[in-house]
Structure formats: structure tokens, C-alpha cells
Structure 1
Amino acid sequence: MTPRLDAIGLVVADMAASLAFYRRLGLDIPADADTAPHAEATLPSGLRVLWDTEETIRSFDPEWARPTGGERVGLAFLCDSPAGVDSLYAELTGAGYKGHLEPWDADWGQRYALVLDPDGCAVSLFANAT
């Protein structure tokens, strides 16, 4: 059997705050998930994004500790255009989410920006420059 990537899991301190952020990025997450210890959304490709509270993780891994010193996983969201990167960055930071790197034209040919989710994980927003 060949394993296949099926899901990406995120551990969150505040489920409702995290889900609100990712809903703004277009993920279809059930409204009743805000108070659940586990939530998930299936993307059009079939890949799933999973959220678990820190308490949920500690329930089966009592020695789990919140990582420090930077991200271990990065999520990247493709926007329709360079202007879309700028607009989404402005929308998210205007809603109170912390911008990490304002939009810029990257050397590799993309418009790029980084915003932090409620747990401090950097989320990339990008579009091809052409």
C-alpha cells in the first residue's frame, strides 16, 4: 500500500478564533465547530485541514508542549491576482490579524505576503506576478 497525504493538522489554542481566521481565507468550516475540540474542512482536492485544541492533543499525548521559536508547518493560499494578495492582506490586517510581511514582489515571480493566524503561524498569501 502506498500512503497518500490526506490531511494537514493544526493545533490551536482558541478554536473559534482560529476557525474565524481560516473562514476568511475561504475554507468552508461548519459554524458549530467553534466550540468543538476537533474540526475539519475538506478542500475541493479532497485534502482535509484538521484543527485540534491543545487540550485535545494533551488528552492522548500528555507531554505535548506548544512549539516555540517559529513555525514548523506553513500554509499557503493562492490568490487570483497580485491585487488579490494586496486586498486579502488588507482585509485580514484590517480585521485585526497581525501582518508579518506586507505584500511585495518576490524575486521568484510572485506577489507575496505573510499574515499570522491566531496562534502565530505564518500563512502565505501569493499570486503569480503575471
Structure 2
Amino acid sequence: MIKLNAVAVSSKDITKTVAFYKLLGFEFPEFGPDDKHVEPITKPGDVRLMIDTAELMEQLTGHPPTPPNHSSFAMLCDTPAEVDAVAAALKDAGHVLTVEPWDAFWGQRYATVKDPDGYQIDIFAEL
């Protein structure tokens, strides 16, 4: 059986990137200034988030990473109010909301934010 195991993003500054993803509820183990790869703590079977330095990704792929111009993945919140609270916390921390929270016609409270390297993350909850 094939299933999604991990989602990867690259980072020009892992400390800033980890701080961003902590605001989305991820918990990280300790990591050092020379670490080129970090992952949040997950339970067995959970989809993993892998964060690699841009330098490591360029070394592995032969070209500099370029964040996509569409959402890379989406974070499910329990309530529409939580979408608003998470979006506000991210905005207050200086991150760019590319889509402010709104009630989407498909029945979800939805927002989109850019991480420090430009990856766009959707935040949503069922209405």
C-alpha cells in the first residue's frame, strides 16, 4: 500500500521556519545551528513535515529550491474561530496572510499564510 508519508519544505533560516511552524501547533525537538534537517515530533503513522536548509536541497537536487505559488499543504483547525485565532497570531508575528480568513462557498472557514520562505499554507475548518 502506498500512502503519503511526508511533506517537505526548504528553509533559508531554520530557526525562523521552526518558529513559524510552532505557531501552527508543531512541536520540535532541540536542534543545533549546524543542523540541515529538522522534523517536528510526530506519532507513528502520522504524516511528517520535513524542513531542510535551502543549501542542502540545492546540494541534493542540483538547483536552488523555489517555493510554489500555490498552497503546499493545509492545516485543519477544530473550529472557524480557531482559524481566525491562528491567522491573527501568524499575522501578529509578522507573517504574510495571502488570503485573510473568509467563509468559503464550499463550507469552510479558510485562510492562507506564507511561511518565511514563501511556501503557502492553508488553514481551514468546517463551518
Output the TM-score relative to the length of structure 2.
Answer: 0.87
Query: What aligned pairs does 1:73-112 form with structure 2 within 5 A after superposition?
Result: 74-112=72-110
Structure with more contact order per residue of length (Cα contacts < 8 Å, sep ≥ 6): 2
Paired with 1:33 and 1:102, the residues of 2 have a C-alpha distance of 34
Q: What letter is aligned with 2:78? A: D
Q: What letter is aligned with 2:66? A: P
Residue correspondences, number: 126
Q: Deviations over 1:10-68 (max 9, x none)?
A: 1111111111100111111113256510011243442211111011122233x312326
Q: What letter is aligned with 2:46? A: G
The structure-2 alpha-carbon separation of the partners of 1:31 and 1:24, relative to structure 1 and needing over 3 Å to count, comes to farther
Q: What letter is aligned with 2:50? A: L
2:54 paired with 1:54: yes
Runs of at least 5 residues in structure 1 that lack an aligned partner in the other structure: none
1:9 corresponds in structure 2 to 8
Output the TM-score relative to the length of structure 1.
Answer: 0.86
User: Is the Cα–Cα contact under 8 Å of residues 37 and 53 in structure 2 kept in the other structure?
Assistant: yes
Shift of 1:3: 3.4
Paired with 1:29 and 1:39, the residues of 2 have a C-alpha distance of 8
Q: What letter is aligned with 1:117? A: D
